[in-house]
Amino acid sequence: MARSLLYAANWKMHHGPAAARTFIERFLELTRPAEGRRLWFFPPAVSIAATCEAADGRPDITVGAQNVHWEPKGAFTGELSVPLIMEFGARAALVGHSERRHLFGETDEQVGRKVAAVLKAGITPLVCVGETLAEREAGRTEQLVVRQVDAVLERVPSAEWSRVVVAYEPVWAIGTGRNATPDDAAQVHELIRFELGRRGVKVRVPILYGGSVNKGNVLALLARPELDGVLVGGASLEPEGWAELVGMGA
Ligand code: PEP
């Protein structure tokens, strides 16, 4: 079976609706659907509808939210529920991105609840896990990543993992220009798969690598069969550069 690769763009707090539309229009001029390649975009919430509209007719593109609340509705000022982001057209959601965990205090328990809520609504969670530099240097990468995966397993029974995608994103590699080596990444991907298997997950869960991925390192990373794709922030912000990057592994 041909390999399937997923390229996910996390635009963080960039590209309002007009810029998102312009980006996608240009990106569509530069790319064609390619066998086995899926393209996911995570624009800011206000740009989800515009991104979906602009990408309409491209079956290889999925648009998702960068964050969701675990309750479907209620008194949660400033939050967005899964049904609300679905009304905009989102069909995926990033959960537990390191910026959410470290800048906004999101806990393992909240991440687990969010993944369960996303699955319950019938869309796909992209769950991010990864250690900080201090944890890596203290030799605690394994312990930390397993703890984060286990917190999701607490809320999501093993049978439901066929609809989950994981991203391994070492915190020290995000937006720093310092990426994990293909060996580092592959080793942690294997560890995650081992833990999922040990806890009864029978399917092969796709695992992306994220952290300063760019045109110069993507091929070496994707050469490792343990990686099923990449989650990219900075290098996904320009349509020309992003189109070139997603074309490199095709
Ligand atoms: C990210 O935002 O998930 C990310 C990996 O960012 P960058 O590619 O800029 O390191």
CB 206 within 8 A of CB 166: yes
Please write the tens of the pLDDT for every residue from 55-74: 999 999 999 999 999 999 99
Dist. CA 74 → ligand 1 center (Å): 31
Q: If DSSP codes are grouped into helix, strand and coil, which group holds residue 242?
A: helix
User: Of the candidates 185, 122, 206, 198, which has an alpha carbon nearest to the alpha carbon of residue 158?
Assistant: 198
Active site residue 69: no
Could you give the percent of the chain with pLDDT greater than 90?
94
Three-state DSSP class for residue 210: strand
Q: Specify the pLDDT at position 1.
A: 58
Share of the chain above pLDDT 70, in %: 99
210 C-beta closer than 6 A to ligand 1: yes
pTM of the complete model: 0.97
Ligand 1 lined by 249 (C-beta under 6 Å)? no
Give the mutation target among 7, 10, 230 for probing the ligand 1 site: most ligand atoms within 8 A of CB.
10
Residues 80-126: tens digit of each pLDDT = 999 999 999 999 999 999 999 999 999 999 999 999 999 999 999 99
Q: Which residues pair with 124 in a beta bridge?
A: 92
Mean pLDDT of 178-193: 94
- Rounded distance between C-alpha atoms, residue 199 and residue 89, angstroms: 33
Residue 179: its pLDDT value, please? 81
169 as an active site residue: the answer is yes
CA 67, 36, 123 angle in degrees (round to 5)? 30
* pLDDT digit string, tens, across residues 202-230: 999 999 999 999 999 999 999 999 999 99
In 3D space, the residue among 206, 210, 236 whose CA is nearest the CA of residue 221 turns out to be 210
CB 80 within 8 A of CB 90: no
pLDDT at 145 over 70: yes
Helix (H) and strand (E) counts in the chain: 10, 8
The pLDDT value recorded for residue 177 is: 83
- DSSP string of 117-130, one letter each residue: HHHHTTSEEEEEE-
pLDDT of the residue at 178: 84
Rounded CA-CA distance 24/191 in Å is 36
Q: What is the mean pLDDT of the chain?
A: 96
**For 167, phi and psi rounded to 5 degrees?**
-125, 125
* Tens-place pLDDT, residues 126-136: 999 999 999 99
Ligand 1 centre and the CA of 150: distance in Å? 23
Q: Distance between CA atoms of 102 and 108, rounded to whole angstroms?
A: 11
Query: Does the pLDDT at position 250 exceed 80?
Result: no
φ, ψ at 230 (rounded to 5°): -135, 150
- Whether the pLDDT of residue 2 is over 80: the answer is no
* Distance of CA 170 from the midpoint of ligand 1 (Å): 10
Phi, psi of 199 (to 5 degrees): -95, 15
161, pLDDT greater than 90:
yes
Rounded mean pLDDT of 160-180? 92
Residue 165's SS3 state is strand
